[in-house]
Amino acid sequence: MTIQQKIKDLRLELREHNYNYYVLDNATISDYEFDMKLKELQDLEEQHPEFYDSNSPTLRVGGEVTKNFNTVVHEHRMYSLDNSYSKEDLLDWEKRIKKLVDGDVFYTCELKYDGASISLTYENGNLLRAVTRGDGTQGDDVTTNIKTIKSVPLQLQGDFPPKFDIRGEIVLPFDGFNKMNEERLEAGEEPYRNPRNTASGSLKLQDSAEVAKRPLECLLYNITGRNLGFETQFESLERARQMGFKVPEAARLASSVDEVLEFISHWDVHRHDLPYETDGVVIKVNSLQQQEELGYTSKAPRWAMAYKFKAEQVSTRLNEITYQVGRTGAITPVANLEPVELAGTTVKRASLHNADQIEKLDIRERDEVFVEKGGEIIPKIIAVDLSKRPEDSKPTQYITHCPECQTELIRQEGDAKHYCPNYNGCNPQIVGRIQHYISRKAMDIEGLGGETVALLVNEGLISNYSDLYTLKKEDVLPLERMAEKSAENLIQGIAASKQIPFERVLFAIGIRYVGETVAKKLAKHYKNIDAIIEASVEDLIAVDEIGDRIAESVVEFFSSEENRMIVDEMKSYGLQLELSAEKLANQTDKLKGQSIVVSGVFETVSRTELKKMIEDNGGKVSSSISSKTNFLVAGDKMGPSKRTKAETLGVAIISESEFLSKLN
């Protein structure tokens, strides 16, 4: 046998033993025998570096140091999930689904594990990269660290698609977490607070050998890609197991919301017997074709819903109510609490939302209050223990003036929030706007963080986001904790942001109510900033999905002379304030004003590409057929009820090839 064949056989054998032990929980050799074989392979690889393999089992021990984690754009976006808390929520969700798809709807129920989200990309059966969720659009490349997790297959077995992403959670089982804390206590170190945060923090450790020491596991639950070779979510879970992934066995198929609720009731009790943290159940429409039909909102898939188990509650004392000023001038009252343990973290503060919420619950300083984590993330006060209220307690008087600049607050009719109107003179608003401008989903300026922005404003170096482009290295070097290299990176990061596309610049400038999706629609419709500045409320309302509130806010923003001056400065510094020539070249008005429904499975282009083509040519993609629908693009396996409805309403039905011919 050749050395190369010996190395190949050892790798194959070790992968098989690894899979049996960490995925199937069924060891076939002793730890000692495994270690001896691993040592033999390590020695052979050291002697013969020409046979290097980036996915060798020997690399599981780590040792590679990563100073900076590269940002990677997800090929398929990682959406968040909408939450539900009751049977009524689920029934409402089911009603919405059944309006949009044909045929019976089945559901896959899966436990929602509380860990750190990860996306693994495989090509030709090999692990290509591992990327954190990040903001859903892009995340950090943590491949080196993920390779140390034994339940992540480096090479797949059986039948697998040529390229795909598989999503899951990196979790830290309770036993491993407790053992880690015992070791830390023995060493005189502070124990870790909870498994979820410890798992999440592990992904960004610079030394992969340290990650390898942690008993992390990877639980997978969703395959994303093209031409995957299966038709349902439940089938995809079984296929993932056959490929070598650790997929929880708890998943069940349900034919009704009642069966979904049976699954939820069972696991609300038995989740405490599991080796990992869980905080709910995820319910998905089982048919992948129906999932495609349902599509996504700007934030979440319409075909999935998270049902959250009832949150843990604790009581503690409310010491003081303070007030924060946001970037839009909105005032948020904050409860400063006696520190209390809740769901694995120490809670010291909770949002009180607005004056109405304080009045509704009659929340007062020195009250004993009940606190829970809304959606297991944000602490909130849900009630007051009136039996423990001090006799001299007085109702809370909401502030009348800004806590930062003392300007009198305003509250518009129909708005729950109070606002500070001192747009250009209130420091937290100025800092907040610039922090929003540099944030990841906006300009994503590398080397510049929120604390540095506050320092730049407080030192008088900038007073708005256009001032960033006037900064020089010698301006920022004197700042606290600013070294030569950091100053260079900051200036380079600001310069690089001049290439950020128009729609993100429009989102970054912080017009109230203009989020990412609205910014894209406005950019696409108006093509450049000048056209938006000139638009009236009536013009803006005519744009698809732009309502009165957004239109009025856009007009109000650009009616400010200072805001227009800032835009002019941004033009002079070379920022992208119009759609690129490439994007303009792909856009036409061929389908302007037309409402189009897409249904079925397509051969030449994917459903996503087809929808993009409609939007690029000025059309609107609608999810349901109505009298306003101009035509229906019908693919294979389109449901009969859609065809019937189209025929009843006299809506034209065209094929995929007819649609493509129409555009060309």
Read off the DSSP letter of residue 409: P
Instruction: Give the Cα separation of 91 and 89 in Å (integer).
Output: 6
Instruction: Give the Cα separation of 335 and 410 in Å (integer).
Output: 22
In a 10 Å sphere around its CB, with 0-12 CB exposed, 13-18 middle and 19+ buried, how is residue 172 labelled?
Answer: buried
Buried b (16+ CB within 10 A) or exposed e, 452-478: bbbbbbeeebbebbbebbebeeebbee
- Report the residue count for the chain: 664
Instruction: Give the Cα separation of 176 and 181 in Å (integer).
Output: 9
Instruction: Give the Cα separation of 164 and 123 in Å (integer).
Output: 7
Instruction: Give the Cα separation of 512 and 436 in Å (integer).
Output: 12
Q: Which of 377, 369, 383, 384 is nearest to 344 (CA)?
A: 377
Instruction: Give the Cα separation of 504 and 515 in Å (integer).
Output: 10
User: Do the Cβ atoms of 340 and 346 come closer than 8 Å?
Assistant: yes
Cα 468 → chain centroid: 28
Instruction: Give the Cα separation of 200 and 116 in Å (integer).
Output: 5
Instruction: Give the Cα separation of 55 and 143 in Å (integer).
Output: 11
Torsion angle of the four alpha carbons 204, 210, 215, 220, in this order, in degrees rounded to the nearest 10: 30
Q: How far is CA 240 from CA 17, 223, 290, 336, in A?
A: 18, 8, 20, 47
* Amino acid at residue number 28: T
Catalytic annotation on 112?
yes
For the chain, the first-to-last Cα distance in angstroms comes to 60
Instruction: Give the Cα separation of 29 and 489 in Å (integer).
Output: 51
Number of neighbours of residue 546 by Cβ within 10 angstroms: 21
- 531 contact partners, CB below 8 Å, separation of at least 6: none
Q: Which of 525, 515, 522 is nearest to 616 (CA)?
A: 525
Number of neighbours of residue 162 by Cβ within 10 angstroms: 11
In the sheet that holds 620-622, the strands lie side by side as 620-622, 595-599, 631-634, 652-655
Out of 8, 37, 112, 592, pick the active-site residue. 112
- 618 contact partners, CB below 8 Å, separation of at least 6: 587, 588, 589, 590, 591, 592, 593, 594
Q: Which residues are catalytic?
A: 112
